[in-house]
A and B are shown apart, each in its own frame.
Chain A
Amino acid sequence: MRRTAIVLALLGLTSTASAGDRALELFLGDLSPSSERACMRDLGRELRSRDHEPVNVTRMGEASVRRMVGDEDGDLLAWTEDDLRPIVERRRRPPYDAVAIVDCRESEGAANLLVRGPSGGITRVSLRGISIDEERARWLARTLLTQARIGFEP
């Protein structure tokens, strides 16, 4: 009986993940002001949640992101696939599967989110006048992952 249970448990494990599966490689650009940390903290927690398939997150701040994109003060929602190419194509390493740029300001009830998925498509999200608490930040993270996984092949 016990042996049967172990075999069934192993079968369950193999049905959710294959041996060759890899984690999604996600670049996360954080353009939020330094005074607004709660939203990005909660969003990051959701990305690391075990409720999802694994994600490897590489995080960078605004100065680095804008330098790579070549836009010092422009609106992140106006960025195109071409603008994001310098981020996607890493030196000596495989390209990122997905790129997400976030500017989240919980004190203003505002957030901008841009996600480029593995196939190159971009989703742009903006929130205005909506309270951004932990639940909302986690929902934003799930929205981010929805786009980031479109076309992803583990």
Chain B
Amino acid sequence: MRPWSCLVLVLAACGEAAAPAEPVSVAEAAPEVEEEAPIEEPEGAVADEADEVAEVLPSAHELLVLTVGEPVLLPSETRLAEFLEARMRRNRRDAELRPATAEEAAFFAGEGGPPATFGEARRVLFLHFPAPRTLPNGDLRSRGIDRVVLYQLPATEPAFVAGMDEAWRLEDEQWATWIAGLLREGDGA
């Protein structure tokens, strides 16, 4: 056995979870980067980046719902996303909802082809949150959602596009109902 093979085995043995080879290697790489890289950026930013690399695997669900925030989701927007996810689970929809990766956001912006992280998803729904409004006291307030795009893979042209000049600020329940109307079961949408 070659020396590097022994090293791989030792690293695999040290992993916390017995997972398939590919995810384990990704999970192991992140701590090494954190230890070796000089701490120049805010701690949270480094951790977020590492989390994203470690967690995003190809989707194993029929429907993938991706949020795109400018620059990131506000707490109220995250709560909306969580509400939508809970509603989909309650309706027994085979769906995954999470923030878009950089590659997925690029695809949403019209750059590149479908990312590998789409996995087995047959439908991908993007929800775009524009940059928030800054109130006089400095607080940020969500504008809502200003773009909704649905892809029915493998087609790379969207099946549905809604673009709002003024973002819609609906109640969580209203969003859930509206999206359920878009993502009806059994009609190909």
- Give A residues with C-beta under 8 Å from B: 117, 119, 121-131, 133, 135-136, 139, 142-143, 146-147, 150
- The 9 A-B pairs with the shortest beta carbon distances in the complex, nearest first, are A121-B166, A139-B181, A121-B165, A130-B189, A123-B164, A125-B162, A122-B165, A131-B187, A124-B163
- Across the interface, A129 reaches (CB within 8 A) one of B162, B163, B188, namely B188
CA distance A98 to B178 in the complex (A): 20
Residue B14, interface by CB 8 Å: no
* In the complex with contacts A127-B159, A129-B152, A142-B164 CB distance below 8 A: no
Cross-chain pair count, CB within 8 angstroms: 59
* In the complex with contacts A123-B162, A124-B162, A143-B162, A133-B187 CB distance below 8 A: yes
Interface string of B161-189 (1 = CB under 8 A from A): 11111101010001000100110100111
**Is the Cβ of A142 less than 8 Å from the Cβ of B181?**
yes
Main secondary structure of the interface of B (DSSP, over half): mixed
**Is the Cβ of B163 less than 8 Å from the Cβ of A143?**
no
Question: Smallest Cβ distance from A154 to chain B, in angstroms?
Answer: 19
CA distance A133 to B188 in the complex (A): 12
Number of interface residues of B (CB under 8 A): 22
By a CB distance below 8 angstroms, the chain A residues around B155 are 129
CA distance A122 to B187 in the complex (A): 28
By a CB distance below 8 angstroms, the chain A residues around B174 are 146
CA distance A143 to B179 in the complex (A): 10
By a CB distance below 8 angstroms, the chain A residues around B182 are 139
* In the complex with contacts A135-B184, A146-B170, A127-B160 CB distance below 8 A: yes
CA distance A44 to B188 in the complex (A): 24
In the complex, which residue of chain A has the Cβ closest to the Cβ of B158? A128
By a CB distance below 8 angstroms, the chain A residues around B164 are 121-123, 147
Residue B82, interface by CB 8 Å: no
CA distance A125 to B149 in the complex (A): 10
CA distance A121 to B130 in the complex (A): 15
**Is the Cβ of A131 less than 8 Å from the Cβ of B163?**
no
Question: Smallest Cβ distance from A147 to chain B, in angstroms?
Answer: 7
CA distance A146 to B144 in the complex (A): 14
By a CB distance below 8 angstroms, the chain A residues around B160 are 125-128, 130
**Is the Cβ of A126 less than 8 Å from the Cβ of B165?**
no
**Is the Cβ of B159 less than 8 Å from the Cβ of A128?**
yes
By a CB distance below 8 angstroms, the chain B residues around A150 are 166, 168
CA distance A128 to B160 in the complex (A): 6
In the complex, which residue of chain A has the Cβ closest to the Cβ of B162? A125
In the complex, which residue of chain B has the Cβ closest to the Cβ of A130? B189
Q: Told that A129-B188, A147-B164, A150-B168 touch, could you supply 15 new A-B pairs with CB distance under 8 A?
A: A124-B162, A125-B160, A126-B160, A127-B159, A127-B160, A130-B160, A130-B189, A131-B188, A136-B184, A136-B189, A139-B182, A143-B162, A146-B178, A147-B168, A150-B166
